Copies of this chain bind each other. A is one copy, B any other.
Amino acid sequence: ASAQTLQEAMAAMADKVKPLGSLGHLEDIATRIASLRGRVDLPEPTPAVVVCAADHGVASQGVSAFPQAVTGLMLTAFGSGGAAVAVLSRAAGARLVVADLGVIDPPAVPSLLDRSVRPGTADSALEPAMTVAEATLALEHGIGIAHELIDDGVDLIALGEMGIGNTTTASALTAALLGCDAAATCGRGTGLDDVQVAHKVSVVDQILARHATSGVSNDPLATLASIGGLEVAALAGVVLGAAERRIPVLVDGFITGAAALVAARLAPASTDAMIAAHLSPEPGHALQLAALGLRPLLDLEMRLGEGSGAALAINLVRSAIAVLTEMATFASLGPAETSPVA
């Protein structure tokens, strides 16, 4: 991020026909994006929502309210436009890009990007979810997707995900990266009751215990390979690819937050590109955001994932940019006595 552009953007914002700071976090978002992009004259955003999907071997531990076949089924709903993230992307005027990083039984959807690394991860409670080479390949696929979109004119990327069982993966990954207990990062996912959450905690404890003996716990890439998942690796790559090109990324909820954590461990400056779209009720999400130093734009008790919160926040970012680029200044309007009385 450019400190000089940040100063210029803050000075431009201070001249607008409004009391200083009176548009709150909209002003912060606009000046942060200007600083990231190194320019105050930001264009109207061209957004894309990138959903990465994959299956999780740990689903066989019975940690989700839905059967694993739903991962593939939802890809059909993404393709036909009837899923929440498809509806919300359309409402936001954003292109929706869905990539298969490792769905066991992917449907025949023409628009689906095939970036399958392997048909789902192994059960991370019993063995490493994937090899470091596989995690690296998934990460590189994510970087590639980001670069292709940016080359095509996209300058705002919203993250989304699909993968039955992936809140368990995200809980284990968050606990491993932040050094906290499984209980602090396990929530209801898409609809678990108290007994089911307790079971999820025990599965995450098992993943963490196996991972702790693997000798790689200080290496973010090896941790990612050990715990999973394939779509989390790709999403971390999307963040890295966007940050490298100084394009802002809207982080959705808990799963994409885990990917953002991985990206931040691999490249700390990538947090400059991150905007937190919303706060998920998953207890580990607030821990992720605190570690990343991000404040969410929305808090609507949304817990669907898919990228629904990130897609919903696109218009807030668009509005923040419009405030910076389209608002008039007091000087352009009239006489000097209209500035605030000291």
Contact = CB atoms under 8 A, between A and B. Distances in A.
A333 B66 CA distance: 15
Contact of A82 (B69, B304, B327, B337): B327
Contacts of A300: 23-26, 297
A24 B301 contact: yes
A17 interface: yes
Contacts of A301: 24-25
8 smallest A-B Cβ distances: which pairs? A82-B328, A24-B301, A22-B304, A315-B315, A25-B300, A19-B190, A24-B302, A24-B300
B19 A304 contact: yes
A14 to B, nearest CB: 12
B90 A322 contact: yes
A17 B322 contact: no
A183 to B, nearest CB: 22
Interface residues of A, number: 58
A79 to B, nearest CB: 11
Contacts of A149: none
B190 A319 contact: no
A213 interface: no
A323 interface: yes
Interface of A: 16-20, 22-26, 64-67, 69-70, 73-74, 76-77, 80-84, 87-88, 90-92, 190-191, 297-304, 308, 312, 315-316, 318-319, 322-323, 326-328, 332-334, 337-338, 340-341
A195 to B, nearest CB: 13
Given A25-B300, A65-B341, A334 B73 contact: yes
Given A17-B74, A73-B333, A341 B84 contact: no
Contacts of A341: 64-67
A299 B25 CA distance: 9
A303 B27 CA distance: 12
A88 B340 contact: no
Contact of A323 (B17, B84, B323): B84
B333 A82 contact: yes
Contacts of A303: 19, 22, 24
Given A23-B308, A87-B323, 8 more contacts: A16-B84, A17-B84, A23-B302, A23-B304, A77-B328, A84-B327, A87-B322, A191-B340
Contacts of A65: 19, 340-341
A41 to B, nearest CB: 15
Contacts of A84: 16-18, 23, 323, 327
Contacts of A332: 82
B19 A319 contact: no
A151 to B, nearest CB: 26
A91 B190 contact: no
